[in-house]
Amino acid sequence: MTVDNILKSRLDGGSLKKLLALDNANLNELIADAILRFQPASVFVSTGSAEDLYHVRAQAIRRGEEKPLNLQGHTIHYDGYEDQGRDPQNTRFLVSGNISLGPGLNSMERQEGIREINEVMNGIMVGKEMVVSFYTLGPLGTEFAIPCVQITDSYYVAHSEDILYRQGYKLFEGETAKEGFFAFFHSAGALKNGVSCDVDLRRIFVDLEKNFVYSANTQYAGNTVAAKKLAHRLAIMRAAREDWLSEHFLITGVQSYEGDKTTYMAGAFPSWCGKTSTSMLFNVVGDDLAHVRKKNGKAYAANVEKGMFGVIKDVNPKDDPYIHEILVNPGEIIFSNILDVDGRPYWQGMGQVDVPLKGQNHCGIWWKGKKDDNGKLIPVSHDNARFCVSIEGLNNYDAKQVVDLEGIIYGGRSSKRPVPVSELYGWVHGVFYGASIESEPTAATVGGGGSKMVINPMANKEFVSIPIGKYLENYVRFGRDLKHPPKIFYVNYFLRDESGDFTNTKMDKKVWIRWMERRITGKVDAYATPTGFIPKYEDLVRLFEKELDTNYSKEDYELQFMFSMPQLLDKLDIADKYFRGETSAVPKEIFEVIDSQRKLLIEAQEHYGEKISPFRFEDYKIPEALTKPF
């Protein structure tokens, strides 16, 4: 059969007209091939028009993938009990020949992978309707825009993507998308009680050669909403090839006290390390993914998305006022895997709310004290329960599409090191700190003896689709052309004292971010230390009073910014071992920073002792070894 005949056999007149209007032969061939492989009963094509968006949402409800809640626009979706998160074990990169992505990346030989995914997905849509949607990574009309086509048999997935991403139908017109678009193929597979039942056949395969992603027998959005982390994996490879950055970045805008300037910063944090809460402190441009390009010697960033797929646990009016407000008012929101009682949603940590003793959640009918088959108590909502919403409804939303990037924040989770906030000495020094982000695996082990630290370069380790060495080489190279590179900062919100108590409150981070803004704009000075600039006590006193209306004592400052030299040297050793274990060559600049850093720390320890008060650095000289740009 010809491509035209295949399309006519499954598309009704309206969908066929929408597809043919693009006059894109490569796209038509792609969709025709998907029809032959997956064998859907019919195909619906969405252009992103108001009518098509309404149809997608209505079908998600009609087919039982979502259920309406009491507030207008609110729906709830449930994933299977064993389908509640990303599946790293079955997420694999398909690579050809002898290509190696390194020890930390799950890959397999491409032809073997194609055979396996064909066995899983051939005929998987029999009796179902295929949905074809078009999106863009990044704002339309800018160099950031990357066309994406999503093919799925789940209207919930298409609806989620409509909320999270800008529509990209127009990008596929004519020759525009003949090269370079990303394509995603998803099927929820066989369903039982509305959820994927063949989870043992769950597969997420990333074909780096074709820029395709296949996802089967799963509904959880992190495995299926392709323009999110699945597209991020493809974009990282493209970015390295084209000399830009695809990053696990929030973007926030901090307006000066004087009202004359908004300073934009990006930030990368591993899960549960304060990323979303940091993005919401001031004005939010994006909370999860960003692309960074350069022009005229400066770095510019854009939010890849237009929505949030956020963890809902502990969202409450006190800690997350902007997010909480949008979740309790009418508007288009998809809740997932939380408790539904007569059309009202409940979740863990939602604040001063009496949670009912019975209802429906991700396990089916739930009651307080219910246990799963392994004897584990089932909470009112899953720990990874989510909300999907457009960020445009947030009261602190910043609508600027492309921002001048002046700061980058890296943050991890460690109970012992380093200090709460520091400014690194330049691009390469900052890249090293970003590359050596470390975090303790879970909140439950923070402060516990023997907890294993995990190195997570740029909080991007799970998604990097090229060897770590090449990924870091691209970072170093990117900075060489920048006449005014962003200042780079490192934060740690999770320091504990000897008794195990946190040395910071949850809101102290607002002061740390404000200090960064004042550093970028030249409004505050700092102490030089062996590991970077740290705030002066008198500046923090003023910032704590202005931002949080609290007093900040010398005792608190000394406790929080005390340098533990053995701990900092241990961090260097862990990073050194990690980078030397990579099969691809890590840039020599990274090891030069490690050597210089170690020498300075040992000298400081010999001069000041193992525990050094921040006040001892009042006369410390800026170390030239770390301030050289390259």
Distance between CA atoms of residues 233 and 213, nearest Å: 10
Report phi then psi at 29, rounded to 5. -65, -40
Selected catalytic residue, list 148, 197, 273, 363: 273
DSSP letters along 557-620, please?
HHHHT-EEHHHHHHHHHHHHHHHHT-SSPPPHHHHHHHHHHHHHHHHHHHHH-SEE-GGGGTTP
Q: Measure the CA–CA gap between 143 and 480, rounded to whole angstroms.
A: 21
538: tokens are: 């008198």
Distances (CA, A) of 41 to 10, 11, 45: 7, 9, 14
Residue 61 CB-density burial (10 A; 0-12 exposed, 13-18 middle, 19+ buried): middle
Q: Other C-beta atoms within 10 Å of 179: how many?
A: 8
Angle, CA 462 vertex, CA 460 and CA 464 arms, to 5°: 60
| Backbone dihedral angles phi then psi of residue 618, each to the nearest 5 degrees | -60, -30
Look up residue 121 and give its two tokens: 């997905």
Helices marked H in 154-228: 155-164, 221-224
What is the rounded distance in angstroms from the CA atom of residue 23 to the CA atom of residue 20? 5
Nearest to 37 by CA among 92, 114, 90, 94: 114
Q: Centre a 10 Å sphere on the Cβ of residue 549 and count the other Cβ atoms it contains.
A: 7
Max Cα distance, the chain (Å)? 80
* 527 token code pair: 């102490």
273 classed as catalytic:
yes
| C-alpha of 85 from chain center | 14
Task: Spell out the alpha helix ranges (H) of 207-287.
Answer: 221-224, 229-242, 275-279
The tokens for 182 are 């990303």
CB 519 within 8 A of CB 410: no
Question: Catalytic site residues?
Answer: 273
